[in-house]
């Protein structure tokens, strides 16, 4: 599964090879968009890993962390091509009902086993505060949770049973995070492409589809 607006974006490059004209960052090149799309596609099509000699429960736990790892790496590319910082996602995510993801993060980790493991090992003071804000429902920026998981997992600290966490709960939390972020990025990307199309060509005499999709 690819980005909703990726095919259309690719065709629009025939008219203007500069992605900044479409509303992306001033230094963004077509290759940056392609790398973003590739990472989204990888996360969307990730079907898990197959570990020999591991229980299915443990396998599921690692599946979950790998999924968030891939999804957050796509989010990093999303931020880059749109010249955004992590904090800017607070308002952008609001229409997508991020509260449900935050609620699952808290309810599936009632004892704070996953949260405490992450919090104690994050060396970025700002991210620690933001993760705590998510836990206390003072923030609905799902990216703070994915950033925390990605950071601790990538550095080899986080395992399927770390701190006694239940891999089934971890899987539920992580798939909720990934599904939300992938939908958010997919929709926002398509929206940007469609807005450009409408703004530039809606009232013109140019038959964009005839040019792009011939």
- Count of beta carbons in the 10 Å neighbourhood of residue 193: 21
Instruction: Return the structure tokens found at 121.
Output: 């090992």
pLDDT tens string 48-77: 999 999 999 999 999 999 999 999 999 999
Q: Tell me, what's the pLDDT at 203? A: 47
Q: Tell me, what's the pLDDT at 10? A: 82
Q: How far is CA 16 from CA 34, 191, 203, in A?
A: 15, 18, 18
Angle at 195 between CA 92 and CA 94, to 5 degrees: 15
Q: Tell me, what's the pLDDT at 138? A: 97
CA distance 69 to 25: 24
Question: Any residues with CB less than 8 A from the CB of 127 and at least 6 apart, and which?
Answer: 144, 147, 148, 151
* Alpha helix segments (H runs only) across 82-138: 89-93, 99-107, 113-121, 125-135
Q: Tell me, what's the pLDDT at 197? A: 74
CA distance 100 to 156: 28
Mean pLDDT in each 10-residue stretch from start to end of the chain (214 residues)?
84 80 89 95 94 94 97 98 96 97 98 98 97 98 98 96 96 98 97 80 53 48
CA distance 162 to 61: 10
Q: What is the pTM of this model?
A: 0.91
């Amino acid at each position: 599964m690819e980005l909703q607006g990726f095919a259309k974006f690719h065709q629009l490059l025939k008219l203007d090879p500069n992605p900044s004209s479409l509303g992306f960052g001033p230094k963004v090149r077509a290759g940056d968009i392609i790398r973003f799309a590739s990472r989204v596609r990888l996360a969307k099509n990730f079907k898990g890993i197959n570990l020999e000699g591991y229980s299915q429960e443990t396998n599921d736990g690692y599946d979950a962390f790998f999924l968030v790892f891939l999804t957050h790496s796509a989010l990093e590319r999303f931020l880059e091509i749109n010249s955004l910082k992590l904090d800017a996602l607070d308002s952008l995510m609001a229409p997508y009902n991020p509260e449900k993801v935050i609620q699952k993060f808290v309810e599936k980790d009632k004892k704070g086993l996953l949260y405490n493991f992450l919090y104690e090992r994050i060396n970025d003071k700002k991210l620690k505060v933001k993760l705590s804000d998510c836990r206390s429902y003072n923030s609905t920026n799902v990216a703070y949770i994915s950033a925390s998981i990605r950071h601790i997992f990538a550095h080899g600290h986080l395992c399927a049973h770390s701190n006694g966490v239940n891999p089934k709960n971890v899987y539920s939390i992580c798939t909720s995070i990934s599904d939300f972020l992938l939908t958010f990025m997919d929709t926002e990307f398509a929206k940007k492409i469609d807005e450009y199309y409408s703004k530039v060509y809606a009232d013109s005499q140019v038959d964009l589809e005839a040019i792009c999709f011939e």
